[in-house]
A and B are shown apart, each in its own frame.
Chain A
Amino acid sequence: MSQKLTVVGGGMVAHRLIEALLDRDTEQAWQIDLFCEEPVAPYDRVALTSYFSGNSPEDLLLGDADLAADPRVTVHLGGTVTALDTEARTVSTAAGVHGFDALVLATGSSAFVPPVAGSDLPGAFVYRTVQDVQDLEAWVLARQGRPLTGVVVGGGLLGLEAAGALHGLGVRATVVEFADRLMPLQVDEGGGAALRRIIEGLGVEVRTSAASAALHAGAGGEVAAMELADGTKIEADVVVFATGVRPRDELAREAGLVIGERGGVVVDDGCATVVPEVYAVGEVACIQGRTWGLVGPGNTMAEVVVDRLLGGEATFPGADTSTKLKLLGVDVASFGDAFAETPGALEVVYADPVAGVYKKLVVSDDAKTLLGGILVGDASSYASLRPMLGAELGSDPNAWLLPEGSGAPVTGQLPDAATVCSCNNVTAGTIRCAVTDEGCTDLGAVKACTKAGTSCGSCLPLVKNLVNTELEKSGVEVSNALCEHFAFSRAQLFDIVSVTGLRNFSEIIASHGTGRGCDICRPVVASILASLGTGHVLDKDQARLQDTNDHVMANLQKDGTYSVVPRVPAGEITPEGLIAIGQVAHDFGLYTKITGGQRIDLFGARLEQLPAIWKRLVDAGFESGHAYGKSLRTVKSCVGSTWCRYGVQDSVGMAVELELRYRGLRAPHKLKLGVSGCARECAEARGKDVGVIATDNGWNLYVGGNGGFTPRHAVLFAEDLDTETLVRTIDRFLMYYVRTADRLQRTAPWVEAHGIEAIREVILEDSLGICADLDAAMAAHVGSYCDEWAATLADPDKLAQFVSFVNDPEASDPDLAYVEERGQRRPATASERTLIAGPTLEVRA
């Protein structure tokens, strides 16, 4: 016969407990009664704030399946337990008295409101339940129509979330914090200063070292202002208290259970109270001498109790208090010994006040072991760092803090015991095990099996990394599917298209994919088709595949206008050419700038102006610079032997030749080349995908250089080549890359993935026997090149799409607005726009 378990409180931890029990209680030993004071089934309190970004209370409900649907569970919604009799083993609700064999108190906490006068005025709220956020929203919405101000008391995690919510509702919020900085429990002085700048940058005011003294009512009896201890008053149409929580231990108190000094039901390491078979879990429990205001430790307690109910002996191992602020646009994380309280601990700090970044790592006295840290402004390394707590960093701590170090690959070194997901207490070992022993073959399966990554999600990048590494190790092919529509990588798709001869997207997706495609696979197919020489980017059904940049052959700017970049091979330009570009810019009112690629960018062209601008440029002898395409951008050159005292070869001539040869070549990502006239390397050729450096005997060829996010120097590929060999080698290198690289993979990571030696064998020794094929493909490209813009101008059908509005071809976007700065115009900012209001500044046709 089954026993009766009563769970008091239907919060997050109770939910976890019941879910785990249902799962593990294969003998059906337990029948469960769940009493919920709130009128809703257990929901995700951690995600409460997402209510303001459109998540309905239903969206917040926890779990895939309805607990109540399980015959072993009876859910009593609105069933507040009013008394607990531990002798008679009964609980009472308004509906009657219920007996139990075992009881779990999971009553959580209530929001604490400090005893200030007026805290009960209409318009003063707390921030804990769905009801709270609904009331708050209704209050604000009812008063909309005039500028509203609000005060959030408390500058901790919860207060900042509440301030974000008010801000989102259009309320000008001020955060009042008693301590001398925001999030005093999580961040130190430096972090607090950086955080403050970020929060203020959002338009939220911050008052630190300030105590609230009283709330004052206005004429209508509603809250109107908050008075601080120093006498200043802040106007407020709404006040939110986020000043901490108090455990809801009232039932336990009356039942005579032991209560902690600061509240909470005292339990042993097995989560049991003084009364046998009566447990407490979650925020109401005082375990190891303290209460825990986080869901992670609560979930661990739930698992402990489930184990005990099933005859096990699990104990609470302690918990991680790492936290990450969930506020859009504000990156804050704090973990481990963030305040360096461990004897001998060292602090390594990186701060960039301009970028608003503050990062600190706390390490052991030998600078090897990670003890804790604080990340403000850029918490991207949080997911990788947190699980390293207590482990050796394996490299100089600085490497983790510098911007380039943020992606430091570490998953290989993670000890099995490291907690990867602190919300759900999942270790690296458990995740590895899910792959090796439980047969999970993708991230989704691992999430479902281990629950890792299912709460706040901040650990997902790391979980994914671990899963992939483990899959690879066990020889399983990691899915390299492009997107949900194609199960192939770009390289595989390239082969399919090239072999099948299919030349339009509809056929390709019908025979090798599913659905309608998306913004990932469509441009990839467009690029493959272009590499295979299928004609103009706007031909036939290719137009629908192109990203807007390729579609209109210009680069989209932040205000919806475009930039225009004519090709200037090698950066060499005649005075007449300069004048022509200048004249066009002048006549169309375009902002001009010399780019980092040795040419001129003209910004602010409206869609309907592009053909007229290009007509003028083409007439002046210019052609598309493909600044928009995943294709050759520029071949940067230095002035070389023609003028330079030290030059040993004509680098400009070589750069012009290369730029004209590869212009228009569509690739997995953009391509940049550089040619320097001597080893002084003024063209920075080693920062390019292909770098050529003159030697006394010819040219040295370097490949795989990259600027951008992960800078890399190109590596020497071949030495002292004559011009013909040089060009042939570059031809092959580029074509091989075009055919085999992944989507958006530049040559640097591609070279790394294939290995420079292997590429050398393919290209210099023809180990695959494909060189003739590569040569032919490049010859076809060079032979068929024509300027996309000149072709477009000659085709009325293609020109028809260059209008802002089909029903008013002359009209331009009426929302565009500009201001003048340093003698040129630029898009008005949002605040400048409101100033300009009404008619926009004049723009020339």
Chain B
Amino acid sequence: MTVRMGGGGWVSVCTKKQLIPERGVAVLVKDQQVALFRVTNAEGEEFVYAVGHRDPFADANVIARGIVGSVGQGEDQRDTVASPMYKHVFDLRTGECLTDPSGRLPVYRTWIAGGVVYVHPEPVDVPALVAS
């Protein structure tokens, strides 16, 4: 699936090769700190999730250093990242915190073209989920 929004504004941040599978990296997108995660699902499809790098509970920029995982199974499986600070678990697709609904991460759209990863600096409300 590829979601592309019009209006330009996309920022190229790195190459796909710089993303370690199942592990995060942080990038600067117009002064915002964004955490990118490269994840492959059971069907072998690759996704790059982009969420805020700041842990809202710890007020520190660490989300990209969390452990990637999942919650639920089959249709209900949600890809997650656990913050390294106090282990809050966030849904990578929606930014929701599954362990404490009072915090959430902003979610960004990503787009991969020609091996380059782009991030849209405007956070979205809807789940942004983009495959290569």
Contact = CB atoms under 8 A, between A and B. Distances in A.
A64 interface: no
Contacts of A813: 33, 61
Given A551-B65, A560-B61, A811 B28 contact: yes
A316 B62 CA distance: 54
Given A516-B79, A518-B67, A519-B66, A544 B22 contact: yes
Contact of B69 (A328, A517, A808): A517
A515 B75 CA distance: 11
Nearest to A559: B60
A558 B83 CA distance: 12
Interface in B64-110: 65-73, 77, 79-80, 82, 84-85, 87, 89, 100-102, 104
B25 interface: yes
B91 to A, nearest CB: 13
A519 B58 contact: no
Give the one of A518, A807, A811 with max B CB within 10 A.
A807
B102 A53 contact: yes
Size category, B interface: 35 or more
Interface stretch (A228-236, A572-580, A713-721, A798-806): A798-806
A546 B66 CA distance: 9
B69 A518 contact: yes
A485 B26 CA distance: 27
Contacts of B65: 548, 551-552, 556
B53 to A, nearest CB: 9
Interface in A91-135: none
A670 interface: no
Contact of B84 (A53, A485, A556, A830): A556
Contacts of A544: 20-23, 67-68
A559 B60 CA distance: 5
A834 to B, nearest CB: 12
B20 A801 contact: yes
Give the one of B62, B67, B84 with max A CB within 10 A.
B67
B14 interface: yes
Give the one of A545, A560, A808 with max B CB within 10 A.
A560
Interface in A322-337: 328
B26 A543 contact: no
Given A518-B71, A544-B21, A807 B82 contact: no
Contacts, number: 111
A518 B62 contact: no
B43 interface: no
Contacts of A53: 100-102
A547 interface: yes
B67 A519 contact: yes
Interface residues of A, number: 41
Given A560-B60, A813-B61, A518 B27 contact: no
A560 B85 CA distance: 8
A514 B89 CA distance: 18
Interface string A513-557: 011111101110000000000000000010111111101100010
A547 B84 contact: yes
A28 interface: no
Contact of B25 (A547, A558, A806): A806
Contact of B58 (A516, A558, A801): A558
A507 to B, nearest CB: 14
Nearest to B87: A519
Given A559-B60, A813-B33, A484 B71 contact: yes
A506 to B, nearest CB: 9
A168 B102 CA distance: 10
B18 interface: yes
A543 B23 contact: yes
B44 to A, nearest CB: 12
A805 B77 contact: no
Contact of A806 (B13, B22, B77, B89): B13
A501 interface: no
B13 to A, nearest CB: 5
A807 B58 contact: no
A147 interface: no
A521 B62 CA distance: 20
A53 B33 CA distance: 25
B75 to A, nearest CB: 12
Contact of B77 (A516, A804, A808): A516
A208 to B, nearest CB: 29
A514 B66 CA distance: 20
Contact of A522 (B14, B18, B67): B67
Contacts of A328: 102
B28 A556 contact: no
A165 to B, nearest CB: 12
Give the one of A515, A517, A549, A830 with max B CB within 10 A.
A515
Contacts of A168: 102
Interface of B: 13-14, 18, 20-23, 25-28, 33, 39, 54, 58-62, 65-73, 77, 79-80, 82, 84-85, 87, 89, 100-102, 104
List 5 tightest A-B contacts by C-beta distance, closest first.
A518-B69, A519-B82, A516-B70, A548-B84, A560-B60
11 contacts: A53-B102, A168-B102, A515-B69, A515-B77, A519-B82, A544-B68, A548-B65, A801-B20, A805-B25, A807-B27, A815-B54
